[in-house]
Structures are given as C-alpha cells and as structure tokens.
C-alpha cells in the first residue's frame, strides 16, 4: 500500500478519535450533561441513523445483489457468536489465570469481548475511506450483529433470553435498513419525492458527529468510577486477556475470513474495518441493566478502546494491503 494511502487512513482514524475527544471534553466542561444523553441517544437511534441508512441504501447498486443482502448479516451474527464462544472458553481457564473470580464477571467479560464496536466508529471510517456501496453493506452486516447482541449476547450475559428480547432487534435502524433495501430493489430514488429525500439527507449528516460526541461523553463518565473491588493482579490479567483476544486473536480471524471468503470487495472491506475495532461501549449499559458486572465491562471496553488507537490503523493498513 502506498505511503499516501497510509496517511489517508491514519488521518481518517485520527479525525474520528478527535471527535470522540471533543465529546469527552464537553462532558467534563459541563456543556453536554448526562441528563441530555437519553434525549440525544433517542434522536440518534430513532431519527438520525435511520436517515443515514435511507440516504446510503436507497439507489445503492451493490444492495441489489442477493449475496450482499444475505451474507453480511449472517457473517455479522457469526462473528459475534464466535467471539463470545472464544471468550467463554478463556474464562474456563480459572480465576488464577484470568482474574475473573465470579460467574457474573466471567459472563460480562465474554459479552464485552464478543460484541465489537460495529456502528459509531466503523460507520464514519467506512464513509470516509470508501463509497456508499461499502457503507450500505456495513449497515446490512450490522443487522446480524444486532440480532447476535440480543440473542447470543444476552444469553451469555444473563443465562436466558428474557421475554421481550425480540423487541430490541426490531429497532428503528434495523427497520430502516429493511425498508430502504425494499425501496432500493423496487426502483430506488425515483420512488422518493426529491424534497423528502433531500430532507432525509440533511438530517443524515448529523448522525455521525452526534454519535461520536455521545461516545466521548460516555467514556468520560466511565473514567470516573473507583477500582470496582479488583486487586492489581486481577486488573492486569483482565486487561491483558481483553487486549489479546479483542485486538489480536479475533482480528486475525476476521482478516483471514476477508481474504479467504468468496464474497464481494465491499464485504471484504467491512470485515477488515470490523477486525480493527475495540469492544463496543454498549455492553457497559447491558451489564448495568441486566445484572452483569459493570466494573468488569468498563475495564474491557476502556482498555481495548485506548489500545485500539495504536492497533486500529495497523490492522486496517495491513488488511487493506492484503486485499490489494
């Protein structure tokens, strides 16, 4: 890969993390309060992300191919499921090796390792590095990830699915993907009045910056808690296993799949971008709500997020170079 491509990738990644840093700063300054988070999150999930999905998916030729509608969600689900199983396997090595001294901590650890950052960071990376065809495939891939979170992920974290797990899968972004894909197959832009499409497009451009500000604010909040009852030895073991699994072992498998699978270049690019990701922030929320161990989740998420500042550009550069 030519040096100018490396510089472009590093520049894109730096811009994403700088936006996250602004989110951390405005939280610390009190300009973005915790009370505003819920309203902003609802705005992002229920309006801005669906608008972004609609803008990208409608009139997207790559999503008129059956393989790009069927294979990406299957891979999204499968990659999460494999990550969960690998992490669960490591937790069986025992407390002395892993530092995880309870079932709740082990379940939380596995959930955080298995669920990678599939939206707020990959979406701007793909949008800035590639074209709408690749971004559309990423959205379809994320439908499978959402399904994995609320089935396999919830099962690992709590031991059961719960009665209303399916309600979480039927969220506005997933519904928007299905609706936009149907419009795309039936004719695309010609079916949508121009003023409507333009309004949707205008709103869509606010999705990524607002999301990144919220990620930064959340990270700033999670830097405040105390030790969580861990010894220094436990901290070292938990963080070490988190880095090894989430930033080295699983990414190597993702990149290998990108090279070996007979799929389109758009999905191969998505696999490389996802390979480079840290653990998602959302499992911290899941741990709080579903009786997991938030302090364990915080250690996994923050350690992998900070270390990914170094590993993310390396995996993306190496992966894309191998793809040619």
- CATH classification at residue 16: 1.20.1530
State the average pLDDT over residues 209-232. 75
For residues 197 and 226, the model is more confident at 197
What CA–CA distance (Å, rounded) separates 252 from 249? 5
Are 111 and 279 in contact by the 8 Å Cβ rule? The answer is no
pLDDT band at 251 (very low <50, low <70, confident <90, very high): very high
The dihedrals phi and psi of 101, each to the nearest 5 degrees, come to: -105, 15
The 3-state secondary structure of 68-105 reads HHHHHHHHHHHHHHHHHHHHHHHHCCCHHHHCCCCHHH
**pLDDT tens digits for range 15-59:** 878 888 899 899 999 999 988 888 888 888 889 888 988 888 888
Token pair of 236 as six digits: 């070292």
- pLDDT for res 168: 66
Cα Rg, the chain, nearest whole Å: 19
**pLDDT tens digits for range 288-315:** 777 888 889 889 988 998 898 889 989 9
Token pair of 138 as six digits: 């990423």
What CA–CA distance (Å, rounded) separates 204 from 52? 4
**pLDDT tens digits for range 117-147:** 887 788 888 888 888 889 889 988 988 888 8
What CA–CA distance (Å, rounded) separates 219 from 228? 16
- pLDDT for res 161: 66
Helix spans in the chain (H): 3-28, 34-43, 49-57, 66-91, 95-98, 103-114, 122-129, 132-148, 154-158, 165-169, 172-186, 194-204, 207-222, 232-244, 250-260, 265-275, 282-289, 294-323
For residues 4 and 60, the model is more confident at 60
pLDDT band at 222 (very low <50, low <70, confident <90, very high): low
Token pair of 315 as six digits: 């995996």
- pLDDT for res 87: 96
Token pair of 304 as six digits: 């992998």
The answer, yes or no, to whether residue 70 has pLDDT greater than 80, is yes
- pLDDT for res 150: 83
> What's the sign of the alpha-carbon dihedral 238, 148, 43, 19?
positive
State the average pLDDT over residues 82-105. 93
- pLDDT for res 249: 96
Q: With 0-12 CB in 10 A as exposed, 13-18 as middle and 19+ as buried, what is 153?
A: buried
pLDDT band at 218 (very low <50, low <70, confident <90, very high): confident
What CA–CA distance (Å, rounded) separates 76 from 118? 9
What CA–CA distance (Å, rounded) separates 162 from 164? 6
Structurally, the chain folds into a number of domains equal to: 1
What CA–CA distance (Å, rounded) separates 200 from 179? 14
Gap between the terminal Cα atoms of the chain: 8
Output the average pLDDT for the chain: 86
Say what percent of the chain tops pLDDT 70.
Answer: 93
Domain that holds residue 144: 3-323
Report CA 100 to chain centroid distance, whole Å: 25
The answer, yes or no, to whether residue 203 has pLDDT greater than 90, is yes
Crossing angle of helices 207-222 and 294-323, rounded to 10°:
140
pLDDT band at 3 (very low <50, low <70, confident <90, very high): low
For residues 104 and 66, the model is more confident at 104
């Amino acid at each position: 890969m030519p040096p100018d491509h490396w510089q472009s990738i590093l520049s894109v990644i730096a811009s994403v993390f700088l936006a996250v840093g602004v989110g951390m700063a405005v939280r610390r300054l009190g300009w973005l309060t915790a009370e505003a988070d819920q309203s902003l999150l609802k705005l992002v999930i229920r309006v801005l992300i669906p608008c972004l999905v609609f803008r990208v998916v409608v009139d997207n030729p790559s999503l008129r191919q059956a393989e790009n509608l069927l294979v990406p969600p299957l891979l999204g689900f499968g990659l999460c499921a494999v990550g969960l199983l690998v992490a669960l396997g490591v937790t069986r090595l025992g407390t002395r090796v892993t530092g995880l001294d309870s079932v709740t901590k082990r379940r939380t650890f596995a959930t955080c390792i298995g669920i990678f950052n599939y939206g707020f960071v990959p979406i701007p990376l793909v949008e800035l590095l590639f074209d709408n065809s690749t971004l559309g495939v990423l959205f379809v891939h994320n439908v499978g990830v959402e399904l994995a979170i609320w089935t396999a992920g919830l099962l690992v974290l709590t031991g059961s699915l719960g009665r209303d797990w399916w309600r979480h899968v039927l969220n506005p972004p997933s519904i928007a993907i299905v609706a936009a894909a149907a419009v795309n197959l039936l004719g695309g832009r010609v079916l949508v009045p121009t003023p409507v499409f333009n309004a949707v497009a205008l709103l869509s451009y606010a999705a990524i910056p607002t999301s990144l500000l919220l990620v930064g604010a959340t990270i700033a909040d999670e830097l405040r808690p105390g030790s969580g009852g861990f010894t220094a030895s436990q901290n070292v073991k938990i963080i070490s296993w988190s880095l090894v699994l989430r930033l080295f072992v699983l990414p190597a498998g993702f990149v290998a799949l990108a090279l070996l699978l007979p799929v389109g270049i758009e999905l191969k690019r998505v696999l490389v971008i996802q390979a480079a990701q840290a653990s998602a922030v959302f499992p911290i929320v899941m741990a709080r709500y579903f009786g997991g161990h938030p302090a364990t989740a915080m250690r996994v998420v923050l350690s992998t997020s900070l270390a990914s500042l170094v590993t993310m550009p390396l995996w993306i550069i190496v992966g894309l170079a191998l793809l040619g």
